[in-house]
Amino acid sequence: MAKNRVTSHLMCEDCKEKNYTQVVNKKRSIGSLKMKKYCSRCRKHQPHKETK
Residues that bind Zn ion (CB under 5 A): 12, 14-15, 17, 39, 41-42, 46
Q: Please, what is the minimum distance in Å from the beta carbon of residue 1 to Zn ion?
A: 35
SS (H, E, C) 1-52: CCCCEEEEEEEECCCCCEEEEEEEECCCCCCCCEEEEEECCCCEEEEEEEEC
Residue 4 or 21: which CB sits closer to Zn ion?
21
Q: Please, what is the minimum distance in Å from the beta carbon of residue 13 to Zn ion?
A: 8
Q: Please, what is the minimum distance in Å from the beta carbon of residue 45 to Zn ion?
A: 10
Which residues pair with residue 22 across a beta bridge? 8
